[in-house]
């Protein structure tokens, strides 16, 4: 809130300085990006990059943690518990405990619409699902039964053939 107030204060001061044709300080309005419809995608991309950075920071804390069905700690974690931790710690967002419950959160998105922070779901058995979080570049973070917490590619033959759905739960 303080940053927003400071920004508007600087804008008002710099506009007043321009109106008086006096020198403008280094913090003039021209140093701030103007928001218009032609560059709104930049703001969206920056928030995607920020979200990706936060997810990768959390990934680094969990990287290599072994997979353990029902686990929810650094001693062993399953895929849905990992999503709970990643979303809680990087976005302050609470997710349900199970993959099935997580699959009903948010709104459905197509694979082409994926953005960092979207949950990706896979059908790995007749009645078994797997979940990860998309981070961009066709990659996702998940708790693998064979590798523990890792990053994999959606283009990998296994994941591509088992891909089921994606949900956007983060705004």
The pLDDT value given to residue 169: 92
The pLDDT value given to residue 171: 60
The answer to whether the beta carbons of residues 116 and 134 sit under 8 Å apart is yes
18 as an active site residue: the answer is no
How many residues are listed for the chain in this entry? 171
Question: What would the pLDDT profile of 51-96 be if each residue is shown by its tens digit?
Answer: 999 999 999 999 999 999 999 999 999 999 999 999 999 999 999 9
- What are the backbone dihedrals phi and psi of residue 151, each rounded to the nearest 5 degrees, phi first? -115, 130
Question: Catalytic residue among 18, 68, 74, 130, which?
Answer: 130
Strand ranges (E), 41-104:
72-73, 76-77
Class of domain 47-168: alpha beta
Question: Catalytic residue among 74, 79, 104, 162, which?
Answer: 79
Q: How many Cβ atoms are within 10 Å of 64's Cβ, its own excluded?
A: 10
Rounded-to-integer distance, Cα 164 and Cα 167, Å? 11
User: Tokens standing for 56?
Assistant: 């990768």
Percentage of the residues of the chain whose pLDDT score is greater than 90: 70
Task: Produce one character per residue of 83-100: b if its CB has 16 or more CB atoms within 10 Å, e if not.
Answer: bbbbbeebbebebeeebe
Give me the torsion for CA of 69, 99, 50, 5, rounded to 10°.
Answer: -120
130 as an active site residue: the answer is yes
List the domain boundaries for the chain: 1-35, 47-168
The pLDDT value given to residue 15: 40
162 as an active site residue: the answer is no
The pLDDT value given to residue 170: 74
pTM of the full predicted structure?
Answer: 0.73
Question: Catalytic residue among 74, 85, 142, 162, which?
Answer: 142
Average per-residue pLDDT in the chain? 81
Counting as low any pLDDT under 50, the low residues of the chain are 2-46
């Amino acid at each position: 809130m303080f940053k927003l107030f400071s920004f508007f204060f600087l804008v008002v001061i710099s506009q007043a300085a321009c109106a008086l044709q006096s020198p403008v300080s280094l913090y003039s309005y021209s140093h701030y990006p103007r928001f218009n419809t032609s560059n709104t995608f930049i703001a969206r991309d920056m928030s995607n990059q920020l979200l990706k950075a936060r997810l990768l920071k959390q990934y680094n804390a969990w990287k290599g943690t072994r997979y353990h069905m029902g686990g929810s700690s650094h001693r062993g974690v399953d895929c849905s518990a990992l999503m709970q931790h990643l979303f809680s710690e990087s976005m302050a967002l609470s997710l349900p405990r199970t993959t099935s419950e997580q699959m009903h959160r948010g709104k459905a998105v197509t694979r082409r619409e994926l953005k960092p922070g979207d949950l990706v779901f896979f059908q790995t058995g007749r009645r078994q699902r797997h979940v990860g979080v998309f981070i961009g570049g066709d990659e996702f973070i998940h708790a693998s039964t064979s590798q523990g917490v890792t990053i994999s590619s959606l283009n990998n033959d296994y994941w591509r053939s088992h891909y089921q759905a994606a949900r956007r739960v983060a705004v």
